[in-house]
Amino acid sequence: MTDSTLFTSDSLKNQRQTLRHQRRLKAWQGVWRFLFLCGMAGGLVWSVSLPHWLVREKSQIKILGNERLDTEQIHTMLDMSYPQLIWKLPIHDLREKLESQPPLESVYMTRQLLPVEVTIMVKERDPVAEATMGEKAGFIDDDGVWIPQTFYQQAKVKPSVKLKVLGLNPSSLTYWKSIYPLIIKSPVEITALDWRDPSNLILHTTLGKVHCGTYLDQEQFLKQLQELGKLRPLSSQVAKERIIYIDLSKPDAPSVHLKDIPSESD
């Protein structure tokens, strides 16, 4: 055997030993990497479950944006149990719970870790009229959402509105969103709508009561208001006390029903 042959054999033997050593090293590195990751994960799980990540009481729930409703009222609506881990707090469900409450239009919630705190930003509905629904008193906003009066019994600020709606029902609620913009732009001020008789919408105006008949659509109601505007000179021609009602059920042929003037012999 030549020297070159011996050299080649020793070289191959050294290469195999080096490869085995490298494989062992990589195996140990994999084991240590796995153990390290397990330790990190375990530490993370342990750390997030520590008591200082708990929402322990409602003082850690900050309510912002409420102008009418008392903060305590919103906490009651939230109906949240304590303690709860900040990580596991069902933000989506809690937001939906609040948004289902009639006085609240929208809700935005965020979590904060240091210190542990939840911020709830609410946007309240803006009542535009008092409205009775059946035997119950309440308010209605411009979108046609009815809000029972009970929500404002403990309110910081009571709604202040001039318009009244009597006899509100699910059917008239569907019309409200289209009818309200016309009411506020009416050429004659409207102070109340009486919907107790579905076949005859009655408006209380500065000219007197106005009978509109069955509400059909926005177009006809607009035409009725336009005709009402043409009757504004009536206030200077006839005493309001004599006007029983103005009939606009047929806007093309409006009529005014008056009380008879007592004769001198009476």
pLDDT tens profile 196-237: 998 999 999 999 999 999 998 899 999 999 999 999 998 888
User: Encoding tokens for residue 135?
Assistant: 């035997």
Task: State residue 11's pLDDT score.
Answer: 65
Q: Is residue 60 part of a domain?
A: yes
Identify the domain boundary among 107, 124, 141: 124
Domain count, the chain: 3
Task: Please name which of 70, 122, 125, 54 lies closest in space to residue 94, comparing C-alpha atoms.
Answer: 122
Tell whether 132 and 252 lie within a shared domain.
Answer: yes
Cα distance between residue 266 and residue 201, in whole Å:
35
When the pLDDT of each residue in the chain is averaged and rounded to a whole number, the result is: 85
Residue whose entry in the numeric block shows the structure tokens 């009978």: 211
Residues 133 and 227 in one domain: yes
What CATH number corresponds to the domain at position 80? 3.10.20.310
- The answer to whether residue 265 is domain-embedded is no
Ramachandran area for residue 65 (φ above 0: left; ψ -120 to 50: alpha; else beta): left
266 part of a folded domain:
no
Quick one: tokens of 75? 């906490």
With a cut of 70, list the residues of the chain below it in pLDDT.
1-25, 27-52, 262-266
- pLDDT at position 31: 60
Residue 133 lies in a domain: yes
> How far, in Å, CA of 245 to CA of 240, rounded?
10
**How are the residues of the chain apportioned to helix, strand and coil, as percentages rounded to the nearest 5?**
40, 25, 30
Pull the structure tokens for residue 74: 């919103």
User: Are both 225 and 146 inside the same structural domain?
Assistant: yes
| Same-domain status, 191 and 231 | yes
State whether 137 and 207 are in the same domain: yes
Q: Tell the residue number behind the tokens 């076949």, with chain if given.
A: 199
| Sequence-ordered list of residues with C-beta below 8 angstroms from that of 141, at least 6 positions apart, any chain | 105, 125, 126, 127, 128, 147
Residue range of the domain that includes 246? 127-258
264 assigned to some structural domain: no
Same domain flag for 73 and 156: no
| 8 and 27, same domain (yes or no) | yes
Half-sphere exposure of 89 (CA within 13 A, CB side): 29
Measured torsion, CA atoms of residues 191, 193, 196, 201, in degrees rounded to the nearest 10: 130
Same domain, 110 and 141: no
Pair (90, 185) in one structural domain: no
pTM: 0.76
Both 35 and 68 in a single domain?
no
Residue at 244 is within a domain? yes
Instruction: Examine the fold and report which residue of 100, 124, 148 is the final residue of a domain before the chain moves on.
Output: 124
* DSSP, res 239: -
Q: At what angle do helices 91-99 and 71-78 cross, to 10 degrees?
A: 120
CA-wise closest residue to 119 among 128, 127, 110:
110
Angle at 170 between CA 165 and CA 173, to 5 degrees: 50
Domain match, 140 and 120 both = no
| pLDDT (0 to 100) of residue 213 | 95
Question: Considering the domain boundaries, does residue 263 fall inside one?
Answer: no
In a domain, 222, yes or no: yes
Does residue 61 share a domain with residue 13? no
Read off φ and ψ for residue 165, nearest 5 degrees. -130, 125
